Structure 1
Amino acid sequence: MSEDGGRLIGGRYRLTERIGSGGMGTVWKARDELVERDVAVKEPRLPGDPRDAAHQRAYHRLQREARAAARVDHPGAVAIHDVVVEDGLPWIVMELIRGESLHEVLQRGALPPTESARIGLAVVGALKAAHAKGIVHRDVKPANVLLGQHGRVVLTDFGIAHIQGEESLTMSGEFVGSLEFIAPERMSGRGAGPAADMWSLGVCLYAAVEGWSPFRRTTLESTLAAILSAEPPEPQHAGPLGPLIVRLLTKDPDQRPDADEVAAALEAVAEGWPAPRGDLTAPQDASLLQEFADDSGTVRFGRRPDEPVVVGPASGPVSAPEADNSAHPDAVPPKRRRRTPRLVAGTVAGALLIAGGVWLGTSLTDVDSDAAGGTAGGGAASGSSKSSPATTTPGPKAPSGTEVWTARPEKDMRAVLHLPRQYVRFHEQGDADDQPRMAIFDNDEVIQVRLTQWDKAPSSSMVRAKEQGDTWAGYGESKSLYTPTTFDGYEATLADTTYDTEGTLTRVMELVILTRDSRMYELRVDMPKGTADEKRGTAVFKGAREGLEIDP
């Protein structure tokens, strides 16, 4: 026991025994003296001075782990009990899983296919629950799969999880995660969607039945090259799991089976049933995605060129109510382009240059294209409207209504945001040296509002909007409609996107503004699609757009 043994955390958690440690901190067994139960407590370990950007990113990553894990309600996901601030750092209190990790089990030898399938079935169940909440785990590996009492399997450590709709908390050029389990699309800088978790699960299943990782090599360089370009050896001991593992380790994320298909195949192997029929690698049919219902009194994106624009007294441009967008060809999402990974010398060389500065044990820091809004240009899943430019004029004050709206000055951004009073500013990041600046607000974790600002615009407003569209396409089937407009005389683009993550629809409404002195602002509201909360979300977007002040 270290010198911290016996320390009381948060006034109720007594540290009793160190369970393990890693790059982000130490995990302790502790006693909750209030309710007399044993728990696990994660002590954070943060690099550098608290004022440093790296320290702040690590701090926010810990907060994100707690928030992400607490949102996943599934018996296969570790339960978060509490988060306490000690010495200015967030300590995460979670359930104590009595047992050992899959990594420890595999040190004694490989597992039979039926047991591997049983473990994988619990993991994919936790991943489905996470994906339904818009959370991509991004660090699925045997060390994070805990095997508890009574056959329980638990996925833990959401410390680098990506929450959809949040900007990356890592800088471009950093990796976080265990190298040999990282999907090739993350290595090549294309970000991580749910398919990346399926890849990592495939590597775990391969290691479980064969006893070794298919991409582990003797050097960092050869491991990177194997992930990006080498086909894994055919599994020899996987039995009925073999075909599924091969499909999961397909380089193209669009060709991997989704979580539902993986769960069906794993259940069949675990129970000894015949393999499910159908091609697990068949791409989703984009036509199955629900059409985008428009809301009365909000901007209708994708107006036909000959459709008149009706300007309401307090709502900005609104298309004529009798118009039917579904008849317009731009309203139909085209099939997604299948992206084939390409191994180029620069990819490996660039990753090695990065890794040279941040390699610690088996972990690297994470390249996430979300930090730059995705890849440049419009994605194949995005349909661009051909409407003529409209004008959006901000009102001098927040809109009237039953809710009380208040001004939220963002002095560093030279802007004022108006929101309903109950919205709380729960996260901020960036400064003059760490662009972009961002402020995020929510009131119930259902509808989220953010304002982002760059001192130097990374692109035009339309290009930026389409880059975001490419990001949403990475989570599943998506449809984006874009409308060129102006805001207070500035170039601007309105974007309306709906994307499907494991059957859960999310709508994102955005206004991207490019000022004459080359600053850029992005107002964005995320909301569930097809629920009463969507009505609230569109109203919040409309009011925030009307009340936004730049250079007040």
Structure 2
Amino acid sequence: MDGDAAGTRAGSTFGRYRLVRLLGRGGMGEVYLAHDTTKDRDVALKLLHASAAQDPGFRERFTHESQTAARLSDPHVIPIHDYGEIDGTLYLDMRLVDGSNLAEIVAAGPLPADRAVDLVTQVASALDSAHLQGLVHRDVKPANIQVTPSGFAYLLDFGLVVTGDADRLTSAGLFVGSQAYAAPERFDGGGADPAGDVYSLACVLYELLVGRPPFTANSISEMMRHHLLSPPPRPSVDAPRQLPAALDAVVAKGMAKRPEDRYATCGSLARAAAAALQGTPQSWGTTTTVPSAPRPAPPSSVPPPAHVSYPHSTPGSSGGPRYVTPSYAPPASYPAAPAAPPHRKRSAVPALVIAAVVLVVALVAAVAVLLTSGGSSSAPTTTAASTAPSVETTTSTAPSTTPTVTKAVQPPNTAICTPGTGEAFTSVAADRGSGVDGEPYTSCEFAGAIAAAYRARFTAPQSGTVAAVSPRAPDLGAISMSCTGESNIVTCRGGNNAIVYIY
């Protein structure tokens, strides 16, 4: 039975699979809730349209999708059980996930800001994992993000994934990807790269916050003009509920027209959004000190920038923060940074004049002494330092900074998985439990995966739940861990009595 018709294959069999009901249709085929009679489990089975399977280009794309998705181990990517061909139809066997896609969820209205940022953070983890392997999704949108009842997000449909150096696998002139979330360079025929996924994820963030895509249009050409020419919209203005204005700059940078002006990674976008909500940006593995008084304004001889942008701190070579101006500056219509408080400048000119006069007087006195003494070697020599009156110089002491976080010691009965550095939260340890022959009860591979998931979700030590797939037991799927963040150590517990420490 051909699935191209209006009917479905529900109720029939496909190889070892019994097709229960149709879950959805897409450009490449259909997805069914199916039962694998060999392994006795329910799966999501994607079947390529029979007509499309005759096209070598589609066949190549489908095979590429299967191979690509199977290589990704991030917990927020749907695991692939199997793929192949049965009776001339290509299929993809995926884990069945309960829940709804984000398009269905946001159709009921915008999400609370913290939930929106949390979901974007989870998707960012999946995208960055793919980018590290040279893979680009190209179709990031709410409909391709499945959310379980517990709030765990999965990125779906890697059918549009391409490798960074692969040729386009589409027919001539066929635009791949959803235009409402497509980066400007896509309309110009630019190649797929991670920056395009960053742009799309920023569009998703805006939609979750506001309840609609960044741009709406009645035609592809109109949508194209918006992405190429219209400034990024401001969620703090468009959302029905109050949002921090700092989120405007996050969305604006994520949706920058030029790829090089966007965030370098999807994780950077997610962390910036989380920092905008918290109001105090912080990065893992670094100690941030915050001045307790406003920094002085730049000299008046330096012309002000065309757009005001907030400075951010990065670790300097001396360990303290150095302030740099971001390469991105939001448009002038965005809220400007608050003006620095006025301060007084004490002119250095009078002090220099007094010092010069004192020095001349001292030299004259020294010459007079030498002349009256007749050049005798026993005469005392008077120097400028000894005859000049002391001048009191007032210097301002730098304001005190907040104390740095002291690195915690290694927890007892643990194996060090990541030694880290001398700074806090750079080390990872796994609980030994009742392991045999010194084997940790919690594997270091799983500990590393949990640590990565925690750092991707949280920008500072705090309590919350994360999940990751254990490389030693991938069939178990994502294992949830409950984490408690303290001043200098994070403890995550879950699974089969697993314990992971980040300190």
Normalised by the size of structure 1, how large is the TM-score?
0.47
Q: Does 1:36 align with 2:43?
A: no
Query: Cα offset for 1:175?
Result: 0.9
Seen in structure 2, the aligned counterparts of structure 1 residues 33 and 228 have a Cα distance that, compared at 3 Å, is same
Alignment correspondent of 1:330:
none
Deviations 1:276-308, CA, capped at 9 Å, x for gaps: 4799999xxxxxxxxxxxxxxxxxxxxxxxxxx
Q: Which amino acid aligns with 1:138?
A: R
Partner letter of residue 280 of structure 2? P
Letter of the structure 2 residue corresponding to residue 6 of structure 1: G
CA distance in 1, matches of 2:96, 2:232: 36
Aligned with residue 249 of structure 1, among 248, 255, 262: 255
Counterpart of 1:108 in structure 2: which amino acid? A
Partner letter of residue 26 of structure 2? G
Offset from partner CA, 1:172-230 (integer Å, 9 cap, x none):
42211111111111111121210000000001111110111112212222111111111
Cα distance in 1 for residues equivalent to 2:57 and 2:311? 37
Between 1 and 2, higher relative CO (CA 8 Å, sep ≥ 6) is seen in 1
Tell me whether 1:9 sits opposite 2:14 in the alignment.
yes
Partner of 2:493: none
Does the 8 Å CA contact 2:19/2:33 hold for their aligned counterparts?
Answer: yes
Question: Residue deviations 1:45-103, cap 9 Å, x none?
Answer: 265682xxxx2211211111111111111111111110131232310010111000000
State the distance in 1 between where 2:167 and 2:310 align. Answer: 31
SS at match of 1:105: helix
Q: Cα distance 1:95–1:269, how it changes in 2: closer, same or farther (>3 A)?
A: farther
Letter in 1 for 2:143: A
Tell me the distance in 2 between the aligned counterparts of 1:280 and 1:190: 31
For the Cα contact (< 8 Å) 2:232–2:251, is it kept in 1? no
How many residues are treated as equivalent by the alignment? 279
Per-residue CA deviations over 1:240-260 (Å, capped at 9, x if unaligned) read 533211110100000101224
Q: Could you say which residue in structure 2 is the equivalent of 1:262? A: 269
Report what 1:190 is aligned to: 190
Q: Which residue of 2 aligns with 1:61?
A: 61
Deviation at 1:10, TM superposition (A): 3.1
- The percentage of counterpart residues that share the same residue type is 33
Residue 147 of structure 1: how far off its partner (Å): 0.5
Q: Which has the higher strand share?
A: 1
Q: Provide the C-alpha distance between the structure 1 equivalents of 2:142 and 2:194, rounded to a whole number of angstroms.
A: 18
| Shift in CA distance, 46/207, structure 1 to aligned 2, threshold 3 Å | farther
CA distance in structure 1 between the partners assigned to 2:208 and 2:167 by the alignment: 34
Maintained 8 Å contact 1:47/1:58: no
Asked if 1 retains the 8 angstrom alpha-carbon contact of 2:8 and 2:22, the reply is no
Residue in structure 1 matched with residue 482 of structure 2 by the alignment: none
Letter in 1 for 2:263: P
| C-alpha separation in 2, matches of 1:31 and 1:276 | 47
Q: Which residue of 1 aligns with 2:24?
A: 20
Aligned counterpart, 1:225: 225
How far the C-alpha of 1:128 sits from its partner, in A, is 0.7
Distance 1:87 1:226 in 2: 45
User: SS state of the match for residue 19, structure 1?
Assistant: strand
Give the conservation status (yes or no) of the 8 Å contact 1:118–1:266.
no
* Residue 448 (structure 2) aligns with: none
Deviation at 1:265, TM superposition (A): 2.2
Question: In 2, distance between residues paired with 1:159 and 1:194?
Answer: 16
- Report deviation, 1:273: 6.6
Answering whether residue 78 of structure 2 is matched by residue 78 of structure 1, we say yes
Structure 2 portions without partners, runs of 5+: 1-5, 289-308, 313-327, 329-503
TM-score, with structure 2 as normaliser: 0.52
Larger Rg: 2
